Amino acid sequence: MLSARGLYTLMLRLAVPLVLVRLWWRGLREPGYRAHLGERFGRYDKRPSRSVIWVHAVSVGEVRAAAPLVQALLRRYPDHSVLMTCMTAAGRDTVDQVYGASVLRAFLPYDLPGAMRRFLTHFRPRLGIMMETEVWPNMLAACREQGVPVMLANARMSRQSARGYRRFAALTRPAFASFAAICAQDRTAARRLRALGARRAAIAGNLKFDVQADPVKTEEGRALMAALRGRQVLLLASTREGEEQMLLDALGERDDGTLIVVVPRHQQRFGDVAALLAARSLTVARRSLGEAPHAGRRVLLGDTMGEMSFYYALSTVAIIGGSFKPLGGQNLIEACAAGVPVIVGPHMFNFAEATRWAVKAGAAIQVADPTEGIRAARDLLASPEWRARMALAGLRLCAAHRGATEHHLGVVRALLRAPAPR
């Protein structure tokens, strides 16, 4: 009789043809999905000449969240190479944008035993660091066999995710138990992770509070804000499919002079959102084309990647997407750190603790739906005193919660004392 992991592996093998078709299909819009195909199955070119610390960040959000830790690793371990792996093409592109040539980059293979063994044999990492919620049973089993300690960093666990893992406990419980260490974002995440089988789950804080804004992009955003000469800016940040329509409906057709900046979460949706704005006969400037939002243009479409520091520096008020549909929300900490008043929808379960802190501190407002969100945004735009109080509350909140990087580095030091795998 097949074990739970054996059945999981069989299902993965059967899914490979469908996976290849999906890569080809996604590659129509994002050519990066058709590149480096061999890496998806554990086949790589040049072997690193130095010892490797491996950091896995599945996509864009995790790549950016890892930045304080990765930069600290580069400083503290200059005799090591840092390898960053991703699963998405956008994530890999973000590695290039954020880290340049300072790190190695690759796709992590699909969670097939042979592919994982080839990956580990090729790179021979001294330590694996998984960001946030990456729990791969065959990867963890292969690391255990080859003596590679694996740490779950900046770990979060929503109630919905915990329920899903419990449903497959025969598979996932041994996987959680395999982690050499877990650095949880908060007490709730640590408790849920222990209940799922984790043996070592300590509270280390949220690395996102340690992320530093890009100073060049911040200055660029402030310069554009100054050029707007007092025109207010409402940012619809990291919006997901369907949310732009809902928020624009709530805004209505009345143009009060506010510049609406729409920044979709995913690059592959930029064209769709541009078409949506055109269909509504809105006057639009596109950031990717270098178009400025001069008088008469009501909307700036943020169709670029890696520029959230620019968009937050430009903004008067920010509404955070991913939160008006049951998608778990997006990172609100970056807005708080920029001193921007924040409005979020009802579905922030992937950032539940940070949202609770921000609302309690007075840095964020949580609303029930897009209509209430737009109403709150208009109230804020009309009240400079209220905005100033929220901005200060956000800055203080972020200052109070910094320090997760040092907690993580302490765990890294302990794990690296173990002998390197042979």
* Residues 334 and 354 reside in one and the same domain: yes
Q: Which two tokens stand for residue 346?
A: 């009802």
* Residues 161 and 252 reside in one and the same domain: no
Confirm whether 19 is domain-assigned: no
Ordered DSSP codes for 143-198: HHHTT--EEEEEE---HHHHHHHHHTHHHHHHHHHH-SEEEESSHHHHHHHHHTT-
The reported pLDDT for the residue numbered 1 is 67
* Residues 289 and 374 reside in one and the same domain: yes
pTM: 0.90
**What is the distance between the alpha carbons of residues 130 and 71, in angstroms, rounded to a whole number?**
16
Cα dihedral 323, 324, 326, 332, rounded to 10, equals: 0
Q: What's the DSSP call for residue 332? A: -
What CATH number has the domain bearing residue 369?
3.40.50.2000
Q: 417 Cβ partners below 8 Å, 6+ apart? A: none
**Length, in residues, of the chain:** 422
Confirm whether 96 is domain-assigned: yes
Residue ranges of the alpha helices (H) in 228-351? 243-251, 270-279, 308-314, 333-337
Q: What's the DSSP call for residue 335? A: H
What CATH number has the domain bearing residue 171?
3.40.50.11720
Choose among 267, 400, 385: nearest CA to 336. Answer: 400
Burial class (CB in 10 A: 0-12, 13-18, 19+), 353: middle
Q: 173 Cβ partners below 8 Å, 6+ apart? A: 196, 197
Confirm whether 18 is domain-assigned: no
Element containing residue 72 per DSSP (H, E): helix 67-76
Q: Which two tokens stand for residue 207?
A: 């690395």
**Residue 65: domain span:** 30-205+403-416
* Residues 220 and 169 reside in one and the same domain: no
* Residues 393 and 411 reside in one and the same domain: no
* Residues 281 and 390 reside in one and the same domain: yes
The reported pLDDT for the residue numbered 58 is 92
**Per-chain mean pLDDT for the chain:** 94
Question: Quick check: 179 and 152 in contact, CB under 8 A?
Answer: yes
* Residues 48 and 185 reside in one and the same domain: yes
* Residues 248 and 284 reside in one and the same domain: yes
Residue ranges of the alpha helices (H) in 299-383? 308-314, 333-337, 352-361, 370-381
Confirm whether 240 is domain-assigned: yes
Q: 1 Cβ partners below 8 Å, 6+ apart? A: none
Cα three-residue angle 381-376-260, rounded to 5 degrees: 55
Give me the residues paired with residue 309 across strands. none
Q: 128 Cβ partners below 8 Å, 6+ apart? A: 54, 56, 143, 148, 149, 150, 151
* Residues 103 and 249 reside in one and the same domain: no
Confirm whether 13 is domain-assigned: no
The reported pLDDT for the residue numbered 393 is 98
The reported pLDDT for the residue numbered 419 is 57
* Residues 408 and 339 reside in one and the same domain: no
Confirm whether 383 is domain-assigned: yes
The reported pLDDT for the residue numbered 421 is 46
* Residues 195 and 120 reside in one and the same domain: yes
Confirm whether 367 is domain-assigned: yes
Tally of domains within the chain: 2
Show pLDDT as tens, one digit a residue, over the chain (422 residues): 679 999 999 999 999 999 999 989 988 888 889 899 999 999 999 899 999 999 999 999 899 999 999 999 999 999 999 999 999 999 999 999 999 999 999 999 999 999 999 999 999 999 999 999 889 999 999 999 999 999 999 999 999 999 999 999 999 999 999 999 999 999 999 999 999 999 889 999 999 999 999 999 999 999 999 999 899 999 999 999 999 999 999 999 888 999 999 999 998 899 999 999 999 999 999 999 999 898 778 999 999 988 999 999 999 999 999 999 999 999 999 999 999 999 999 999 999 999 999 999 999 999 999 999 999 999 999 999 999 999 999 999 999 999 999 999 999 999 998 654 44
pLDDT, one tens digit per residue, over 408-419 is 999 999 999 865
Residues with active-site annotation:
62
**Reduced to 3 states, what is the DSSP secondary structure of residue 344?**
strand
Choose among 33, 29, 21: nearest CA to 88. Answer: 33
**What is the distance between the alpha carbons of residues 83 and 55, in angstroms, rounded to a whole number?**
6
**What is the distance between the alpha carbons of residues 130 and 150, in angstroms, rounded to a whole number?**
7
**Reduced to 3 states, what is the DSSP secondary structure of residue 252?**
coil
* Residues 195 and 259 reside in one and the same domain: no
Question: Quick check: 43 and 121 in contact, CB under 8 A?
Answer: no
Confirm whether 422 is domain-assigned: no
